[in-house]
Amino acid sequence: MRITKKKLLKWGSNLISFVLFFGLVAMATIVITTKASGGEPELFGYQFKTVLSGSMEPDIQTGSVIAVETGGDTTRFQEGDVITFMEEDSKLVTHRVTEVLNNGEHIMYQTKGDNNNAADVNPVFAENVIAEYTGFTIPYLGYLVSFAQTQNGAFLLLIPGVLLLGYAVITIWQGLRELERHQKALHDNKEDKQIAT
């Protein structure tokens, strides 16, 4: 089977279209679910958080997007679990549980970032735990997500859409031109046969 230049160009064109379309849909989904949920994108019961610090490296790289599972009993966590919790200043942090503390009234967790030298200063009350890290991470996507959530980033989401629209117009125009050539060839062939008879 011989691959012609035309087939190779068509295959490349289809691949670029798929990547652009998938990228557009993915980014639009992230932005829409972020706006709908009031801040964090959610899909199939998992929230996606952007990691902005290197405290959990090397397991979770700075700029990664991680999947966390919300809900459930927040007193269930054990040493070694990675949890996302709300600090007193309403900042979300994802760190590893190093010790479970029970003072009789409250369950608290001593936490530490894997890349930090010391444990976090304040233990985390179980009520402040938002979610548990699932182990799913996509490195560097967080930079793109953070940018897409800005006004300039949302505007730049239009670029793949415009490119896809332009590509669709060109493809339709080429298809119509090809159809026109084919019909002209059929018409010319029909006239040649009529002249011959």
**Confidence grade of residue 76 (pLDDT, cut at 50, 70, 90):** very high
In percent, the amount of the chain with pLDDT more than 90 equals 23
- Pair of tokens at residue 57: 């490296």
Predicted confidence at residue 154, as pLDDT, reads: 66
What is the three-state SS of 2-44?
Answer: CCCHHHHHHHHHHHHHHHHHHHHHHHHHHHHHHHHHCCCCEEC
The per-residue pLDDT for range 77-91, each reduced to its tens digit, is: 999 999 999 988 888
Residues that are catalytic: 53
**Confidence grade of residue 134 (pLDDT, cut at 50, 70, 90):** very high
Predicted confidence at residue 157, as pLDDT, reads: 67
In percent, the amount of the chain with pLDDT more than 70 equals 85
Q: Does domain 41-149 have CATH number 2.40.50.100?
A: no
Closest CA relative to residue 122, chosen from 138, 106, 111? 111
Predicted confidence at residue 95, as pLDDT, reads: 95
pTM for this predicted structure: 0.62
Closest CA relative to residue 29, chosen from 44, 16, 42? 42
Closest CA relative to residue 46, chosen from 69, 29, 27, 71? 69
Q: What is the mean pLDDT of residues 20-33?
A: 71
DSSP run (H or E) holding 152: helix 151-156
**Confidence grade of residue 39 (pLDDT, cut at 50, 70, 90):** low
Contact 82, 95 (CB under 8 A): yes
Q: What is the mean pLDDT of residues 155-171?
A: 77
Predicted confidence at residue 186, as pLDDT, reads: 79
**Confidence grade of residue 44 (pLDDT, cut at 50, 70, 90):** confident
Between 84 and 1, residue with greater pLDDT: 84
Q: How far apart (Å, rounded) are the C-alpha atoms in residues 33 and 47?
A: 10
